[in-house]
């Protein structure tokens, strides 16, 4: 199944907004901008030395236009390759949450887009959408839901009713809890994929809120 970013990349790839001129087109453009009259008559005579000079200049113009085409095609974060590191340096990636080492091209592009447009979040749905953008399904509720009758399981104990009200409960759906026994043998020592979202949520949550994470594996 195509991800959201794959769909966008495919659409952008079809929109080539800058097409360089051919050498002949650039040469003719130079000729058309020169004065007329007998002095410049050779500008349209293809075997003349003057026309060959225009063609030589047109080759250099074509080289610059080729670089512009690369810049235009590669500029957008969802298709960038050549400018990937430039985007990351501009946005301060890597940092505490965003990594570049051993990350796929798709993940690095998503991190750039997230830092550009998805980090100014305050609502519950915006947190859910951010997780979904990176391929995680989460449910978010307030801690008070787990502290009143009838109790919602699993029961989450808070220091007080006030603390419960200002606790953000994040439930990962379909993700194994990385911190519990029994382990499945042979043990595979790999990083916890959900650690990335936990880091983002902890960083983006309101300062007055605590945050707790739960895991629900689907059968």
- The whole-angstrom separation of Cα 162 and Cα 102 is 42
pTM: 0.68
What is the torsion angle, in degrees rounded to the nearest 10, for the CA atoms of residue 59, residue 63, residue 69 and residue 70?
A: 150
Q: Are 165 and 143 in contact (CB under 8 A)?
A: yes
pLDDT at 146: 52
- The whole-angstrom separation of Cα 54 and Cα 156 is 78
The alpha helices in the chain, defined as continuous H runs, are 4-13, 23-32, 49-75, 84-91, 105-113, 124-133, 161-165, 195-204
Cβ count near 20 (within 10 Å): 16
pLDDT (tens digit, 0 to 9) for every residue of the chain, 219 residues total? Answer: 455 555 655 565 556 578 899 999 999 999 999 998 899 999 999 999 999 999 999 999 999 999 998 888 888 888 899 999 999 999 999 999 999 999 999 999 999 999 998 888 989 999 999 999 999 999 998 865 555 545 455 555 555 555 567 788 999 998 776 655 454 544 444 457 789 999 999 999 988 889 989 888 765
Cα 33 → chain centroid: 43
SS3 34: coil
* Ranges of each domain in the chain: 4-75, 78-119, 123-216
């Amino acid at each position: 199944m195509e991800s959201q970013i794959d769909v966008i990349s495919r659409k952008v790839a079809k929109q080539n907004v800058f097409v360089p001129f051919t050498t002949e087109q650039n040469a003719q453009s130079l000729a058309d901008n020169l004065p007329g009259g007998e002095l410049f008559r050779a500008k349209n005579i293809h075997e003349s030395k003057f026309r060959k000079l225009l063609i030589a200049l047109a080759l250099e113009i074509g080289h610059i236009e080729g670089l512009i085409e690369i810049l235009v095609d590669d500029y957008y974060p969802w298709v960038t390759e050549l400018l990937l590191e430039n985007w990351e340096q501009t946005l301060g990636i890597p940092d505490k949450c965003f990594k570049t080492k051993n990350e796929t091209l798709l993940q690095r592009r998503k991190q750039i887009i997230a830092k550009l447009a998805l980090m100014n979040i305050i609502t519950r749905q915006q947190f859910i959408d951010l997780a979904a953008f990176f391929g995680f399904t989460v449910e978010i509720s307030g801690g008070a839901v787990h502290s009143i009758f009838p109790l919602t399981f699993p029961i989450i104990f808070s220091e007080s009713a006030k603390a419960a009200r200002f606790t953000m409960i994040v439930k990962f759906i379909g993700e194994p809890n990385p911190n519990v026994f029994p382990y499945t043998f042979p043990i595979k020592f790999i990083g916890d994929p959900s650690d990335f979202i936990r880091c983002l949520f902890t960083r983006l949550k309101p300062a007055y809120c605590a945050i707790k994470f739960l895991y629900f594996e689907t059968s």
